[in-house]
Amino acid sequence: MTAADWSQPDWRAREDMMLAPWAMHAVDSAGRVHHEEPHPFRSPYQRDRDRIVHSAAFRRLAHKTQVFTGYHGDYHRSRLTHTLEVTSIARTLARALALNEDLVETLALAHDIGHPPLGHAGEDTLADLLRDEGGFNHNAQALRIMELLETRYADFPGLNLSREVLDAQATRKKDGTAPAPLLEAQVVDAADSIAYDTHDADDAVELGLVTLDELLELPLVADAAARVTVRQGRLEGVEARRAILHELVDFQVAELVRQARATINSMNIDSVARVREVFRGAGSTAGRRIVAPAPGIAAGKRELERFLFERVYRCDRVLAVRVPAQRSLTELFWWYANHPDEMPPGYRQRATVFGVRRSVADYIAGMTDRYLEIDHRRRLCET
């Protein structure tokens, strides 16, 4: 049997067969900023996904903090494991809604590549250091990496991703300048929310910052626990925690699919254009997302997020590690601002265009937690 006998329809035919009319078909892509010849067997979004996965910014996520700066251990999430969990959830949603999984996977894998070291502590510090120069935001930084900083090709700066990928990342800046989000972008945002709420709670219990009993006082978690008990009986300890958190993810995904399908039907969503039209609606419907939790679940998520903010993200144990880490980042920032010639050539060159402080922020934002610590020691403690 020859290879031709095993041949499958090309990506265009597969998309025609598998994708709904409200999905973004790659054949309808607006293309790339810099023209490239089509690949013989990969769709544009497959190429985008591969470019993200092979980028240095993506690899560095393995050694960047998700939430818990300075907590050494193998259990709690890094920025990379969080990204992979978001991607898993997003692909499930995409398949259930007949969306473009290649585009969804690309957006999910890329959504956090702009995060600096030290998690939100690092982002807050860089935002303060650049407050007179446009600030710092990890979503905007991801776009900057995609379009400028990641230099892997001789013919153009950045990764030259499809315009739909760039537009979707631009919507995450929430500054009102980006096009209305595709359903693929909405799916990734919803998956991100599910992942960080649930998995931050899991990590917090594992690290002893809160207890499972405290989480069970929240209606969203208590309802998940009740469903677990009905199916599996009363569980204890780690088994209970894992089952409840799994149920939290599974239930929210199932409800998102149910809610999105109902909205698609009730609002006659029959094209990408209609998706955008709904989002641009006037009055109370302005900014309407089709992939969004029902009001009751949204309220439960907000309560869980308030709990995590007060009891976890701003607790004394976390802040005790966060403050000295922020001090190290600040000291290293000013050291490079006063010694810009010590940065790698690309950053030195860009400093003449974007200014020294912005280029220093670009350089430090690309560091891992570990490299920041090593470089701070080398530059400020051993001189």
| More reliable by pLDDT, 4 or 307 | 307
Q: Which residues contact 26 (CB under 8 A, 6 or more apart)?
A: 11, 12, 15, 43, 44, 45, 100, 102, 103, 162
Quick check: helix, strand or coil at residue 152?
Answer: coil
Q: Which amino acid is at 267?
A: M
Instruction: Look up residue 4 and give its DSSP letter.
Output: G
- For residue 214, is pLDDT > 80? yes
Quick one: pLDDT at residue 74? 56
| More reliable by pLDDT, 76 or 329 | 329
User: pLDDT grade, residue 78 (50/70/90)?
Assistant: confident
| More reliable by pLDDT, 79 or 92 | 92
What does the alpha-carbon distance between residue 22 and residue 185 come to, in Å, rounded to a whole number?
13
Mean pLDDT of 187-206: 92
User: pLDDT grade, residue 287 (50/70/90)?
Assistant: confident
- Written as six digits, the tokens of 167 are 């537009």
What does the alpha-carbon distance between residue 352 and residue 350 come to, in Å, rounded to a whole number?
5
Question: pLDDT (tens digit, 9 = 90+) per residue, 145-157?
Answer: 999 999 888 889 9
Q: Which fold has domain 9-381?
A: Hypothetical protein af1432 (1.10.3210)
Taking the CA atoms of the chain, what radius of gyration do you get in angstroms? 22
Mean pLDDT of 242-265: 96
Quick check: helix, strand or coil at residue 78?
Answer: strand
C-beta pairs of 245-249 under 8 Å, 24+ apart in sequence: 245/198, 245/199, 245/201, 245/202, 248/194, 248/197, 248/198, 248/220, 248/221, 248/224, 249/89, 249/194, 249/195, 249/198
Question: pLDDT (tens digit, 9 = 90+) per residue, 338-369?
Answer: 999 999 999 999 999 999 999 999 999 999 99
Domain ranges for the chain: 9-381
Quick one: pLDDT at residue 120? 87
State pTM to two decimals.
0.94
- For residue 71, is pLDDT > 60? no
Quick one: pLDDT at residue 285? 67
Quick one: pLDDT at residue 254? 97
